[in-house]
Amino acid sequence: MSAEAATAGAPQLRVELRGVGKSFGGTWVLQDIDLEIEPGRVHALVGENGAGKSTLSKIISGIYTADTGSLVVGGEEVSFGSPREALDRGIATIAQELALVPALSVAENVFLGREPRRGGFLDRRQLRRLFLELAGPTGFDLNPDAPVGTLRTADQQKVEILRALARGASFIIMDEPTAALAGRDAELLHGVVRRLAASGTTVLLISHFLGEVLELADTVTILRDGRHIRTSPAAQETESSLIEGMLGRSLGSVFPDKSEPPVGTDAVLEVEGLVAPGVNDVTFEVRAGEIVGLAGLVGAGRSEIAHAVYGAMPRTSGTVRVGGAEVPADVPGALRSGLFLIAESRKEQGLVLGRPIRDNVTLSNLAQLAVGGWVRTGAERRESREALARVTVAGDDRRNVSALSGGNQQKVLFARALQRQRKVLVADEPTRGVDVGSRRAIYDLIAEQARAGIGVVVISSDVEEVLGLAHRVLVVRGGRIVAELTGAQMTEENILNAAFAQPTASERPTATNERRGDEEA
Amino acid sequence: MTQPDKITSTTAVKAPDSPPSFASRIPWRSVAIVVPFVVVFIFLSAFPGSNFLTFLNITNVLDRQAGMLIIAAASTLVLIAGGLDLSVGATYMFTAVICGTFVIKVGGVAGVWAGIVAALLAGLLVGLINGVISTYLKINPLIATLAMSFIILGTTKLVSQFGKEGIGQIRVDFPEFRWIATTKLLGISLPIWIAFVVIVVLGIMLWRTRFGRYIYAAGGNAEAARLAGIRVNLVRIATFAITGLGAGLAGVIDLARTPSAPENDAIATSLTFTVLAGIVVGGTSILGGEGAIWRTVLGILFIAMLYNGFTLLKVDPLFQGIALGAIILIAVGFDAWSRFRRR
């Protein structure tokens, strides 16, 4: 789509990055980025998880400051200290997690903090008028008086976009806008992006969905391992050329060699007719030594299945058996029966961040380490060091766990899991926000567990990760297991087809759109 | 689908987790209470003619603070576990009145023991109720214990109707009961010894036992603790129960010391506030997950020392509250600053 068309009110911004680099805790996540983003166009950023797309967009939007190089906006070198300063220059971000006030109306949310007032009171008539003036050119059809909480996600995103426009934004960053949207809503949002560009707004689109990128973008930039690979007109790219640029390295170097799928071993985990909030009648089993991947979109119910199996969520009905014995629906019971869950969010659900590494490692095993409630510190120190050595985390384990990098924090959770012999290990998004080096180490740990005869369930939004690790893949949609893929059926296409389901497929006009990765951490 | 060409890339340079800088190695939160404590202690000791550093003055201060120290030490557990108990003052008064009522109504040595046991049980019961409503009933502990303290204060008045003849306070000036406060071992009063034992036991429990670890985990990250197999609600209820028991013990000790039951809502309220102030000044985070009992002890003693110093130096007592308020603000500000530093 060409966007040399209309140029609406707000001044157009040419954003340039010159030699931009950024490092976190010694790891360079972005290096030597030279990039020009033409005004009034849809510019897409593609790359694998951890390629630096989000970091790049956060530098432009003022959340991060570049460590090297400079950011040039409208011909002027700038250094944003906060998103606020970026917004003052007309740069706004529509984040994946929307920041709306559910109880307020659409119009109130759009003008939040800058509502028209009369004598200290909200001027509702003026508010409506301003809203209609703003929404008119975009073609967004929204009821200004509807509470935002009642809208579907795609409409809430429109509200976010309008809010950005109301604040004078002419450069809008959209980070995985369709990741959480079903087919119809995703189509709607595509229309939104087109209209924004047509009205002269620049859109920086970050997306894993290559079909979407090719359909919407004028220009595509490929990032890989924090480096700028190339920027070219979207018309010159194809899905396979994008993938080639994004991957650029062998899958074999990322994933450990797959062991042969176990033959004739007993099922260590049997889940039957499990029903829980977000889980609809799920039945599956995992055999000893097997790695089963749970694939699906965000919100499909994968984590809910894991939590229901682990007893961290009440079950309505169904049974869970580990090694033939029924597992009670509570966490201590699940732990006793040999089940362990490494939860999705290590900061919120995994680690106690104010405490030492050692305490975090031994947290689930204190019952065995304490005699009559008294922690045997010698034994604890020994076990913690042993477990940390197995997961290759070096250094003093009396340090605060928050001092570790994301990858090492994740390894601490594996150390907690591996401190005792388990029968079943469930790892939910085990490499989210983990650097490439640690990722391989974590894959090795998972493979090693399976070889030791443990049943492993890997939940991941990264389809490649699922394919690279699992012997068998279960695809989850709407809280159900909708497909079981083994052997040659285990392809990205089959997983995505199942994850996106038939109703979506019929709405998609071209076959290319079916190829979808998943959202980024 | 065709797999593209593969090239191995090693651009992401992994550095070891960077060693902490010198400034971040200093345990600022500990320094926060130790330094001012030592400074004020030395100042008061060295002040000409202050009589601060005399055996009599120090033991007097400690004797008066014994009950407060017990309650504060126990309340620290609640705070670290992620709760908050605003009913300690009311519980303290309630248990003192219950104890006095039993001592008077039952009479004799049997009455004394009945009073002690009843007071401790009443404290434990209040703690358990606080714990259950602020966990299983999901009522915010601040609101739950605030409401409970009104209920307890009302109940206290109801109970005291039985305990006293006519108007005035319940008085238990009998040697069979007062030995609790008057007995001395090695020249130090029994209340100080009891407080010392409670502090040491709770401190070691927090430091070295599984329960202690669970308290930190429950307050530091409740969801992570739950998924690690810790029964967070039970841990929190236990901390409330211990605090109720501590308030009961303090009620008994102070009843024996004074020896009349304090029946004044203002005393209850100011005790609750002073306990919280001592904990916060000591550097235990109000947000949970961090803190230590020895810090609370220093915090409470710091406040006591300050008050004592004002008296000894004949400063108008009206400045005490102002000074304490300022110190709390500084302590909390310091806490926020040290949290920020750690990022």
Q: Measured between alpha carbons, how far is A299 from A96 in angstroms, rounded to an integer?
A: 13
DSSP secondary structure string, B72-110?
A: HHHHHHHHHTT---S-HHHHHHHHHHHHHHHHHHH-HHH
Residue B222 lies in a domain: yes
Q: Contact A98/A177 with Cβ under 8 angstroms?
A: no
Residue B41 lies in a domain: no
Residues in chain A within 8 Å Cβ distance of B3: 251
CATH of the domain at B80: 1.10.3470
Residues in chain B within 8 Å Cβ distance of A369: 210
Per DSSP, chain B holds a count of helices (H) and strands (E) of 14, 2
The pLDDT value given to residue B127: 96
Beta carbons of A364 and B228 less than 8 Å apart: yes
Q: Measured between alpha carbons, how far is A88 from A72 in angstroms, rounded to an integer?
A: 15
Q: Measured between alpha carbons, how far is B122 from B101 in angstroms, rounded to an integer?
A: 13
What one-letter code names the amino acid at A24?
A: F
Distance of residue B116 Cα from the nearest chain A Cα, in angstroms:
28
Residue B291 lies in a domain: yes
Residues in chain A within 8 Å Cβ distance of B229: 331-332, 334-335, 364
Q: Tokens 């911004």 label which residue?
A: A13
Beta carbons of A249 and B224 less than 8 Å apart: no
The pLDDT value given to residue A516: 37
The pLDDT value given to residue A249: 54
The pLDDT value given to residue A4: 35
Q: Is the pTM of this model over 0.90?
A: no
Architecture category of domain A265-338+421-521 in CATH? 3-Layer(aba) Sandwich (3.40)
User: In what order do the strands lie in the sheet containing A15-24?
Assistant: A27-37, A15-24, A68-73, A76-78
Beta carbons of A395 and B16 less than 8 Å apart: yes
Q: Contact A323/A337 with Cβ under 8 angstroms?
A: yes
Residues in chain B within 8 Å Cβ distance of A399: 20
**B165-180 per-position pLDDT tens digit:** 666 678 888 888 888 8
The pLDDT value given to residue B202: 96
**B25-42 per-position pLDDT tens digit:** 556 556 677 888 888 889
The pLDDT value given to residue B11: 34
Q: Measured between alpha carbons, how far is A14 from A136 in angstroms, rounded to an integer?
A: 25
Coil, strand or helix: which one is A249?
A: coil
**B106-163 per-position pLDDT tens digit:** 888 888 999 999 999 999 999 999 999 999 998 999 999 999 999 999 999 888 887 7
- Indicate if the pLDDT at residue B237 is higher than 90: yes
The pLDDT value given to residue A112: 81
Q: Which sign, positive or negative, has the C-alpha torsion B65, B66, B72, B75?
A: negative
Quick one: A15-249 is in which CATH superfamily? P-loop containing nucleotide triphosphate hydrolases (3.40.50.300)
Distance of residue B7 Cα from the nearest chain A Cα, in angstroms:
4
Q: Contact B230/B135 with Cβ under 8 angstroms?
A: no
Residue in A306, A182, A280, A295 with CA at minimum distance from that of residue A480: A280
The pLDDT value given to residue A497: 78
Which run of H or E residues covers position A411? Answer: helix A406-418
The pLDDT value given to residue A501: 60
In which residue ranges of chain A is CATH 3.40.50.300 found?
A: 15-249, 265-338+421-521
Q: Tokens 């950005």 label which residue?
A: A164
Structure tokens at B9: 């890339």
Q: Which domain holds residue B160?
A: 66-328
Please state whether beta strands A480-486 and A42-46 pair in parallel, antiparallel, or not at all (unpaired). unpaired
Count of structural domains within chain B: 1
Q: Measured between alpha carbons, how far is B65 from B257 in angstroms, rounded to an integer?
A: 11
**Most A-contacting residue of B5, B17, B233, B335 (CB-CB within 10 A), to test interface:** B17
Please state whether beta strands A267-276 and A227-233 pair in parallel, antiparallel, or not at all (unpaired). unpaired
% helix, strand, coil for chain A, step of 5: 40, 25, 35
**A83-115 per-position pLDDT tens digit:** 888 888 888 888 766 678 888 888 888 888 777
Instruction: Write the ipTM.
Output: 0.81
The pLDDT value given to residue B93: 94
The pLDDT value given to residue B22: 52
Residue in B196, B118, B205, B113 with CA at minimum distance from that of residue B159: B118
Beta carbons of A27 and B15 less than 8 Å apart: yes
Structure tokens at B239: 């901390």
pLDDT under 50: residue ranges of chain A? 1-9, 250-252, 502-521
Residue B51 lies in a domain: no
Residue B21 lies in a domain: no
Q: Could you report how far apart the first and last alpha carbons of chain B are, in Å?
A: 45
Beta carbons of B4 and A343 less than 8 Å apart: no
Residue B15 lies in a domain: no
Q: Measured between alpha carbons, how far is A135 from A141 in angstroms, rounded to an integer?
A: 8
Rounded to a whole number, what is the largest CA-CA distance in chain B?
97
